[in-house]
Amino acid sequence: MNKKKNTILVVDSDPQTQKMMTIVLDEGDFILIDCLTGKQAARLAVSTKPDLVLLDLNLPDMQGIDVITALREWSEVPIIILSARAEDSDVVQALNSGADDYVIKPFSADVLLARINASLRSSAIKETGKPELVNGPLRMDLVRHEVFLNDDLLPFTPKEYNLLRYFIIHRGKMLPHREILKEVWGDAHAEDTQYLRVFVGQIREKIEKDPSIPALIITEPGIGYRMEIAEIAHLHEQAVLKLSA
């Protein structure tokens, strides 16, 4: 059984669409979060930070266009419209408001999955300039949410993945506890340094040769953490070996 990776927020009040999305997204190896209204979508987008949003234009409490506008005030998350409205004016308005793609109902499951994967890939490239992050033997596939060490696939939970991703993007930089917690977990966890310490320990167990003497993720006492650039990490590791010899 494959481990689910990317999280998709589905905003649609139609029971048939919701049922189909459960089947399609499960087959595509995605985590599904669903809601019925635009207000719920805005709250869930903040609290769950989905990797992609599937959005109907006709919602019980507001128009999907208004949801796009609200999300675009603070987020670049990919948004794909799922709608029975096939008029050119509807498509143009949605895309001009900030949607990334538009799929007309009824749709093929294979076509939707292809559109989702294409949007996820484009989003990864837009943020980092490429679909993967590499730091020496450590590699992250940003589209499939997979982590490799020396080409061996490692088992990572979604939160571990997001934390490691933040470290690699900012490798070589000292990152304060509060900054990491706010960016990865949100403002509500800005003071949970013990929480962060636990997750850093779990990641070290998976990527460090000796987790008790980490060379990749370094602790900055009283401040935060820093992911070393691989070449520097190697030099650090060699120095530790010489001292212990």
pLDDT at position 4, please? 58
Report the pLDDT value the prediction gives residue 192, as an integer from 0 to 100: 82
* Confidence band of 234 (pLDDT split at 50, 70, 90): low
Per-residue pLDDT band at 70 (split at 50, 70, 90): very high
- Say if strands 79-83 and 52-55 run parallel, antiparallel, or are unpaired: parallel
Kindly report whether the global pTM for this prediction surpasses the value 0.85. Answer: no
Separation of alpha carbons 125 and 147, rounded Å: 17
Report how far residue 55's alpha carbon sits from residue 11's, in angstroms, rounded to the nearest whole number.
5
Q: What's the mean pLDDT in 12-27?
A: 89
Beta bridge pairs of residue 165: none
Span 139-179, pLDDT tens digits: 999 888 899 999 899 999 888 999 999 999 888 888 888 88
What number is the average pLDDT over the span 30-53?
A: 92
Mean pLDDT of 65-75: 93
Helix (H) or strand (E) holding 128: helix 109-128
Is 2's pLDDT higher than 70? no
Task: Report the alpha-carbon distance of residue 223 to residue 193 in Å, rounded.
Answer: 10
CA distance 224 to 218: 9
pLDDT at 237: 53
Q: What is the pLDDT of residue 201?
A: 94
Whether the predicted pLDDT of 243 surpasses 70: no
**pLDDT attached to residue 178:** 87
Q: Is the pLDDT of residue 3 over 70?
A: no
Contacts of 181 (CB under 8 A, 6+ apart): 189, 190, 191, 192, 193, 195, 196
Confidence bin at 240 (pLDDT 50/70/90) = very low
Residue 34 scores a pLDDT above 60: yes
Average pLDDT, integer, range 8-14: 94
Q: What number is the average pLDDT over the span 215-227?
A: 87
Helix, strand, coil percent values for the chain (each to nearest 5)? 45, 20, 30
Structural domains in the chain?
7-128 (3.40.50.2300), 132-244 (1.10.10.10)
Under 8 Å between Cβ of 230 and 217: no
Buried b (16+ CB within 10 A) or exposed e, 184-206: bbeeeeeeeeeebeebbeebbee
Please give the average per-residue pLDDT across 64-92, as a whole number: 91
More confident: 221 or 81? 81
C-alpha 16/C-alpha 60 separation (Å) is 16
> Confidence band (pLDDT; 50, 70, 90) for 125?
confident
Query: pLDDT tens digit string along 189-214?
Result: 778 888 899 999 999 999 998 888 88
Peptide bond into 137 cis (omega under 30): no
User: Does residue 188 surpass a pLDDT of 80?
Assistant: no
pLDDT of residue 71: 94
